[in-house]
């Protein structure tokens, strides 16, 4: 068993002064060893959430160790210098808390939410495993099997399988081509030494962000951060990104169609978009809201309520540190033609490019963002997550608190401009996931139902 | 004189009283039609959460037509009062509001989350959804297609395929707990079924209007009384509390799915309901066995020590009507036999030894603390309050909960485990490749015979 000794970093260097924008509710400071701490007090809340966001994900892997970031997320629960295997979870649960972790392309996040009076406990636990994790081949082999189970679980679901394949072909030659699940062959080969190298390079205070939200005071958080994380030594590795994705190159594949063991087909139009911190992202997010948030959105109205082509219509802006993805899609019963769905989605994108959006649609999107801010504000986990994600992806947690302000400053012309710039037909990639076999009986039944629906709608209009 | 007595009686029924629950003042009223009105002021943020509970739920779906309750809860949101579905959607999205409608086992909840500045519009929407839904045929058709699509999507998931065959086998397809939505049951549902379900659900005797948020409690309670005071009184709902016998005890149910590398297993049998005297001891015992995630005995054995599964969890139902106790895991096909043996071994050992004092103590601390997490947001508190009120436990149950957990002893937890969490009589539902399922039959036979 290898014990990564907790290395003391001398006396805690004085924390750098905090930053707090006007009207902002959160504030931040940075310890001498580089750990950034974000505090979002929420008086009256019975709970507190403590999250450690490491600036490492599957992006930082290479062929040969794909999946190590996620595997590592599992290993972090298997004991450190002062706490045994699963003891972290046990201690959090013993006070009524909940803890878990997740790995994404650009981040690995450890989070716990617990009654506010137990604030100190997660500081003690997270600091211990940040620099003194225990690693050995027995633990590695057990967790390897668990991670492979998770991988298989994903492969056995056709929608997850489609997502893995789409990503592989949407980001050729780039680490975003694989997800945190990694690669089965690589997982089988990862050694204890690979894990040690990965841990030493990325698990250090200067590559992490500590986010605390709940019934806490900033001074109290500062004192605990200095006490537990202050002595930890930073890592020499800069943890920087190595590869960039060229947005100006047209996609290599324009159409990716998969036939899978599923019964509900889905068509998506996807477009590469700039990194999360780019100035065009707010306009793209508002466009997503106009196209797909709520039943008054353009896609729901045209694809579901009016034409009845689809049963669900959706839009998403997948933000990443490097270029992300914009997508509009629809799920439809197998009695519809995928070509019609594709044409319907394309028509709505073209309509934005040609005619733009209305001021009312923009105001509605702002209203929705404002309401989401109010409703989301009840949950300390939501607040901490939003700030952590903004800090990692956009480089500034304060962007989470200024979403509404940034949306309000947009004009309908700016929304149209980003559609013209990014959602063009030469950048479009059609993703299709459809069943292995067509059931013609079902198709005929659907056709008959379409006629019945049309007659009923016609009668409703005539006899209104 | 008769008028005076009547007037006094109405006043008594309308009498509102305020209690302090979970550090908040709660105004409660019972209207003359026996509908309960509850308002909780919460000025932490400018938002209001409106909920109306109607006393008819999934367990009341007509025979062979499982899904009526869900479709009704959805359809009332697609056009009500003077607004079409499109007009309603436009208003809701413009306000940044959210409508909700869902059915639980015994009741349906319809509601609306709005910013405080839109309170009147939110109340109007809630009133119209409850009392004047349009039940539009075109929207009904869309919803049915969406419900069918949802089942088609879920059928890609082996966990769903394993889960869906358990209730009808264990309880019988006509029993309240045995009904499961299928494409066939959804296909048979007519708009008349939905209209009838909605009509029957308008029973003030079991209904509750509950609002939490940035409001004036007294003024809002009066408005709610005016809005819902005319619902028909009806009869108080009846909730069955006896645990039914397992109609498929010891049986193996198979859902073959070829070309997958894992098999999902769900072990189940009837368990205690929320009103059972054993509920809290069983809750604590279940946490130790498999409900406690990483700290449970099943997770420790199957995942942490053996790496056989990504996760294993046992659970008991929170509804008052007794429902399934289940243990669920997914494992690679070649590990199925070993995983089943180990699961039964852990369960048998647990029943024989019982939880330790330390385990019981840790479980109790978890539940007492976790209650803060479960009641963090107004929406979460509303769900709990509605359930407590509907089950006749009173809203004060919010404060009594920690005491009920504290009262559980090691002996009570062990006794409850012996009665409800033993591996005897479990039905085993499997989804995986045919050959794997066939090989599982003798394994289960051997387990039953103690081999």
Radius of gyration of chain B (CA): 24
- Fold agreement between A16-228 and A255-459: yes
Q: Does A369 touch chain B (CB under 8 A)?
A: yes
pLDDT band with cut points at 50, 70 and 90 for residue B304 = confident
What is the least distance, in Å, from the CA of B1 to any CA of chain A?
52
Q: Do B158 and A98 touch (CB under 8 A)?
A: no
Question: Would you identify the CATH topology of the domain A255-459?
Answer: Cytochrome Bc1 Complex; Chain A, domain 1 (3.30.830)
pLDDT at B73: 98
Q: Report the pLDDT value the prediction gives residue B383, as an integer from 0 to 100.
A: 97
Is residue A364 helix, strand or coil? helix
**Residue B14's pLDDT is what?**
42
pLDDT at B388 over 70: yes
pLDDT score for A57: 95
- A366 neighbors A304 (Cβ within 8 angstroms): no
Give B71 to chain A, closest Cα distance, Å. Answer: 15
pLDDT over 60 at A464, yes or no? no
Instruction: Confirm or reject contact between B98 and chain A (CB < 8 A).
Output: yes
**A239 in Cβ contact with A211 (< 8 Å):** no
A358 interface with B at CB cutoff 8 Å: no
Reduced to 3 states (helix: H, G, I; strand: E, B; else coil), residue A203 is: coil
With an 8 Å Cβ cutoff, are A375 and B113 in contact? Answer: yes
* Structural domains of chain B, ranges and CATH numbers in brackets: 2-228 (3.30.830.10), 252-448 (3.30.830.10)
Q: What is the pLDDT of residues A186-241, one digit of tens each?
A: 999 999 999 999 999 999 999 999 999 999 999 999 999 999 999 999 987 755 55
Which are the contacts of B136, defined by CB distance < 8 A and separation ≥ 6? B75, B78, B79, B84, B85
**A152: nearest CB among B138, B332, B372:** B332
- A242 to chain B, any CB pair closer than 8 A? The answer is no
* pLDDT confidence bin for B451, thresholds 50/70/90: low
| Nearest residue, CB atoms, A96 vs list B96, B332, B371 | B371
- Residues of chain B in contact with residue A364, where contact means CB-CB under 8 angstroms, are 93-94
Whether residue A444 has pLDDT greater than 80: no
B190: distance to nearest CA of chain A, Å? 14
What is the structure's pLDDT at A26?
Answer: 95
**Confidence grade of residue A451 (pLDDT, cut at 50, 70, 90):** low
Q: Is pLDDT at A12 greater than 60 in this prediction?
A: no
| Distance, CA of B26 to CA of B34 (rounded, Å) | 18
The answer to whether A152 contacts B261, with C-beta atoms less than 8 Å apart, is yes
- Cβ-nearest to B156 among A44, A89, A263: A263
Confidence of residue A22 (pLDDT cuts 50, 70, 90): very low
C-beta of residue A317 within 8 angstroms of C-beta of residue A393? no
Averaged pLDDT for residues B300-324: 93
Residue with tokens 């070993």: B338
Distance from the A436 Cα atom to the nearest Cα atom in chain B, whole angstroms: 12
Selection from A315, A74, A31 nearest residue A190 by Cα: A74
DSSP H or E segment with residue B313 = strand B309-315
Structure tokens at A41: 């007090």
Q: Say how far apart CA B7 and CA B10 lie, in whole Å.
A: 5
* Average pLDDT over all residues of chain A: 89
- Helical H runs in B132-276? 137-154, 158-164, 166-171, 183-188, 191-201, 217-228
Q: Do A85 and B292 make contact, defined as CB atoms within 8 angstroms?
A: no
Q: How far apart are CA A84 and CA A125, in angstroms?
A: 11
First to last CA, chain B: 80
Is A16's pLDDT higher than 60? no
What's the average model confidence in pLDDT over A57-73? 94
At residue B383, the 3 state secondary structure works out as helix
**B436 inside 8 A of chain A by CB:** no
Share of chain B above pLDDT 70, in %: 95
Four-point Cα dihedral A145, A148, A154, A158, nearest 10: -120
A252, A172 Cβ separation under 8 angstroms: yes
Mean pLDDT for B142-152 is 93
Interface of A with B in 370-399 (CB under 8 A): 370-372, 374-375, 377-380
The 10s digit of each residue's pLDDT in B43-89 is: 999 999 999 999 999 999 999 999 999 999 999 999 999 999 999 99
| Tokens 């072909």, located at residue | A169
- Give pLDDT tens digits for A118-141: 999 999 999 999 989 988 899 899
ipTM: 0.89
Is the distance from CB of A284 to CB of A352 less than 8 angstroms?
no
Q: Do B362 and A93 touch (CB under 8 A)?
A: yes
Instruction: Determine the pLDDT at residue A447.
Output: 62
Query: Looking at the predicted structure, is the pLDDT value of residue A15 above 80?
Result: no
- Is it the case that residue B12 has pLDDT exceeding 70? no
> Which residue ranges make up each domain of chain A?
16-228, 255-459
Q: Which of A146, A312, A368 faces B96 most closely, judged by CB atoms?
A: A368
CA distance A47 to B3: 53
Record: contact B146-A118, CB cut-off 8 A: no
**Do B118 and B218 meet the contact criterion of CB atoms below 8 Å apart?**
no
Strands A47-54 and A208-214: antiparallel
Q: DSSP H helical segments within A314-394, as ranges?
A: 338-355, 359-376, 380-389
- Predicted confidence at residue A157, as pLDDT, reads 86
Helical segments of B203-272, H only: 217-228
What are the backbone angles phi and psi of residue A34, rounded to the nearest 5°?
Answer: 100, -5
pLDDT cut 90: percent of chain B above it: 88
Any idea how long chain A is? 464
Residue B368 contacts A where some CB pair is shorter than 8 Å? yes
Contact B76, B110 (CB under 8 A): yes
Are the beta carbons of A114 and B373 separated by less than 8 Å? yes
Please judge whether B369 and A96 are an interchain contact, meaning their C-beta atoms are less than 8 angstroms apart: yes
Percentage of chain A with pLDDT > 70? 87
| Phi-psi region at B189: left, alpha or beta (left = phi > 0; alpha = psi -120 to 50) | beta
The gap from C-alpha A373 to its chain's centroid, in whole angstroms, comes to 18
The confidence score (pLDDT) of residue B431 equals 97
CA-to-CA separations, B208 to A181, A244, B37, B379, in angstroms, rounded:
46, 57, 6, 15
Contacts of residue B207, defined as CB under 8 A and 6 or more positions apart, other chains included, come to B35, B36, B52, B53, B54, B55, B228, B231
Residue B298: what pLDDT?
97
Does A90 lie at the interface with B, CB-CB under 8 angstroms? yes
| Shortest Cα distance, chain B CAs vs residue A266, angstroms | 10
- Convert the pLDDT of each residue in B290-301 to its tens digit: 999 988 999 999
> Average pLDDT, stretch B342-353?
97
Cβ atoms of B289 and B298 within 8 Å: the answer is yes
B448 against A289, higher pLDDT: A289
pLDDT at B259: 84
- Pick the residue of B213, B369, B379 with the most A CBs within 10 A to test the interface with A by mutation: B369
Q: Which H or E run contains B398?
A: helix B397-406
Evaluate if residue B307 carries a pLDDT over 70. yes
CA–CA gap between residue A111 and residue A102 (Å, rounded): 9
Tell me the chain A residues in contact with residue B310 when contact means C-beta distances shorter than 8 Å: 146, 149-150, 153
Contacts with B95 from chain A: Cβ below 8 Å: 367, 371
Q: Output DSSP code: residue B323.
A: -
Q: Which of B339, B261, B156, B255 is nearest to A152 (CA)?
A: B261
Backbone dihedral region for residue B401 (phi beyond 0: left; psi -120 to 50: alpha; all else: beta): alpha
- Interface check for B372 against chain A (CB to CB < 8 A): the answer is yes
Which of A78, A378, A379, A450 would you mutate first to test chain B, the one with the most B CBs within 10 A?
Answer: A378
* Structure tokens belonging to residue B226: 């005016």
Compute CA distances B195 → B33, B201, B318, whole Å.
22, 10, 29
Nearest chain B residue (CA) to A456: B138
| Residues in chain B closer than 8 A to A264 (CB atoms) | 149, 152-153, 156
The mean of the pLDDT values for chain B is: 93
Tens digits of residue pLDDT in B267-286: 999 999 999 999 999 999 99
B259 touches chain A (CB under 8 A): yes
Query: Of A214, A352, A207, whose CA–CA distance to A283 is shortest?
Result: A352
Instruction: Identify the residue whose tokens are 């036999």.
Output: B337
- Mark out the alpha helices in B249-356 (DSSP H runs): 279-286, 297-299, 336-353
CATH number assigned to the domain with residue range A16-228, chosen from the 4 options 3.40.50.2300, 3.40.50.1820, 3.30.830.10, 3.30.70.2740: 3.30.830.10
Do the chains contact at A94 and B365, CB–CB below 8 Å? yes
In order, the DSSP letters of A394-443 are: IS-THHHHTHHHHHHT--HHHHHHHHHHHS-TTT-EEEEEEESS--HHHH
- Using CA coordinates, name the residue in chain B closest to A151: B310
H runs (alpha helix) in A76-119: 87-94
Q: Using 50, 70 and 90 to split pLDDT, how confident is the model at A450? A: low
| Cβ–Cβ contact B111 with A under 8 A | no
Any chain A CB within 8 A of the CB of B364?
no
Model confidence at A58: pLDDT above 70:
yes
Indicate yes or no: CB of B261 within 8 angstroms of CB of A96. no
Contact A374 B46 (CB under 8 A): yes
A87 touches chain B (CB under 8 A): no
What is the per-residue pLDDT for A8?
34
- The residues, any chain, with a CB within 8 Å of residue A448's CB and separated by 6 or more, are none
pLDDT value at A21 more than 50? no
Least Cα distance to B53 among B189, B199, B159, B204 occurs for: B204
Gap between the Cα atoms of A356 and A172, Å rounded:
32
Distances in Å between the alpha carbon of B354 and those of A154, B92, B422?
Answer: 36, 52, 11
Residue B100 has a pLDDT of: 97
pLDDT in tens, B13-39: 444 566 666 567 899 999 999 999 999
Q: Are residues A314 and A332 in contact, defined by beta-carbon separation less than 8 angstroms?
A: no
Q: In what order do the strands lie in the sheet with B24-30?
A: B16-21, B24-30, B36-41, B208-213, B47-54, B108-115, B98-103
Q: Nearest-CA distance from A334 to chain B in Å?
A: 9
pLDDT (0 to 100) of residue A2? 31
């Amino acid at each position: 068993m290898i014990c990564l000794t907790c290395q003391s970093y001398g006396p805690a260097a004085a924390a750098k002064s905090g930053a707090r924008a006007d009207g902002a509710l959160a504030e931040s400071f940075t310890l001498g060893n580089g750990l950034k701490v974000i505090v979002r007090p929420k008086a009256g809340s019975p709970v507190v959430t403590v999250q450690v966001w490491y600036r490492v994900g599957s992006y930082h892997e290479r062929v040969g160790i794909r999946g190590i970031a996620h595997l590592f997320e599992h290993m972090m629960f298997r004991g450190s210098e002062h706490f045994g295997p699963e003891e972290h979870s046990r201690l959090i649960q013993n006070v009524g808390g909940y803890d878990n972790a997740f790995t994404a392309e650009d981040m690995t996040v450890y989070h716990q939410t617990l009654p506010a009076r137990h604030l100190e406990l997660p500081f003690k636990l997270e600091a211990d495993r940040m620099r003194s994790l225990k690693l050995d081949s027995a633990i590695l082999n057990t967790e390897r099997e668990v991670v492979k189970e998770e991988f298989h679980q994903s492969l056995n679901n056709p929608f997850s399988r489609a997502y893995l394949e789409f990503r592989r072909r949407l980001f050729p030659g780039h680490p975003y081509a694989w997800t945190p699940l990694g690669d089965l062959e690589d997982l089988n080969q990862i050694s204890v030494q690979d894990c040690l190298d990965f841990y030493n390079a990325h698990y250090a205070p200067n590559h992490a962000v500590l986010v605390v939200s709940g019934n806490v005071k900033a001074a109290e958080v500062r004192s605990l951060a200095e006490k537990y994380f202050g002595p930890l030594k930073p890592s020499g590795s800069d943890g920087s990104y190595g590869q960039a994705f060229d947005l100006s190159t047209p996609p290599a594949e324009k159409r990716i169609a998969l036939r899978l063991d599923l019964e509900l087909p889905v068509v998506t139009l996807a477009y590469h978009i700039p990194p999360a911190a780019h100035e065009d992202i707010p306009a793209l997010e508002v466009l997503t809201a106009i196209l797909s948030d709520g039943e008054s959105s353009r896609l729901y109205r045209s694809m579901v309520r009016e034409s009845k082509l689809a049963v669900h219509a959706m839009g998403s802006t997948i933000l990443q540190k490097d270029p992300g993805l914009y997508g509009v899609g629809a799920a439809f019963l197998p009695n519809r033609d995928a070509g019609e769905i594709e044409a319907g989605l394309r028509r709505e994108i073209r309509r934005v490019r040609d005619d733009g959006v209305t001021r009312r649609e923009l105001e509605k999107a702002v209203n929705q963002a404002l309401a989401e801010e109010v409703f989301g504000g009840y949950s300390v986990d939501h607040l901490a997550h939003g700030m952590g994600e903004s800090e990692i992806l956009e480089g500034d947690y304060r962007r989470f608190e200024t979403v509404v302000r940034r949306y309000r400053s947009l004009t309908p012309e700016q929304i149209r401009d980003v559609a013209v710039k990014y959602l063009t037909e030469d950048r479009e990639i059609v993703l299709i996931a459809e069943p292995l076999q067509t059931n013609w009986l079902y198709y005929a039944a659907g056709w008959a139902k379409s006629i019945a629906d049309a007659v009923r709608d016609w009668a409703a209009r005539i006899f209104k | 004189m008769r008028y005076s007595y009547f007037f006094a009686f109405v006043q008594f029924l309308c009498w509102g009283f305020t209690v302090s629950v979970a550090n908040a003042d709660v105004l409660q009223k019972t209207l003359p039609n026996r509908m309960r009105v509850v308002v909780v002021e919460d000025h932490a943020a400018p938002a209001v959460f409106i909920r109306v509970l109607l006393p008819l739920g999934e367990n009341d779906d007509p025979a062979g037509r499982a899904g009526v309750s869900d479709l009704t809860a959805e359809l009332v949101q697609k056009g009500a009062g003077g607004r079409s579905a499109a007009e309603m959607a436009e208003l809701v999205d413009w306000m940044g509001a959210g409508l909700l409608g869902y059915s639980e086992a015994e009741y349906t909840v319809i509601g609306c989350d709005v910013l405080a500045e839109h309170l009147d519009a939110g109340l109007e929407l809630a009133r119209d959804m409850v009392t004047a839904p349009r039940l539009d045929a075109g929207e009904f058709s869309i919803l049915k297609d969406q419900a069918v699509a949802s089942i088609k999507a879920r059928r890609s998931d082996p966990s769903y395929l394993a889960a869906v065959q358990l209730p009808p086998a264990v309880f019988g397809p006509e029993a309240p707990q045995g009904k499961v939505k299928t494409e066939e049951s959804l296909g048979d549902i007519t708009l008349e079924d939905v209209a009838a379900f909605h009509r029957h659900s308008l029973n003030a005797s079991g209904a509750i209007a509950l609002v939490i948020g940035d409001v004036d409690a007294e003024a809002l309670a009066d408005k709610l009384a005016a809005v819902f005071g005319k619902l028909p009184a009806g009869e108080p709902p009846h909730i069955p509390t006896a645990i039914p016998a397992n109609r498929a005890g010891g049986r193996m149910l198979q859902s073959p799915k070829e070309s997958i590398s894992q098999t999902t297993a769900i072990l189940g049998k009837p368990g205690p309901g929320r009103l059972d005297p054993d509920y809290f001891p069983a809750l604590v015992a279940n946490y130790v066995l498999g409900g406690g995630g990483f700290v449970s005995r099943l997770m420790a054995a199957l995942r942490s020590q053996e790496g056989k599964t990504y996760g294993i969890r046992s659970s008991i139902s929170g509804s008052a009507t007794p429902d399934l106790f289940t243990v669920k895991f997914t494992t690679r096909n070649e590990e199925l036999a070993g995983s089943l043996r180990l699961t039964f071994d852990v369960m048998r050992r647990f029943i024989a030894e019982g939880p330790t004092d330390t385990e019981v103590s840790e479980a109790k601390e978890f539940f007492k603390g976790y209650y803060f997490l479960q009641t963090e947001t107004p929406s979460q508190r509303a769900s709990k309050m509605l359930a407590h009120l509907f089950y006749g436990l009173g809203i004060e149950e919010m404060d009594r909960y920690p005491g009920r957990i504290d009262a559980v002893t090691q002996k009570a937890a062990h006794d409850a485990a012996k009665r409800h969490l033993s591996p005897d009589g479990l039905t085993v539902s499997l989804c995986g490749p045919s050959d794997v399922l066939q090989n599982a039959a003798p394994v289960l036979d051997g387990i039953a015979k103690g081999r």
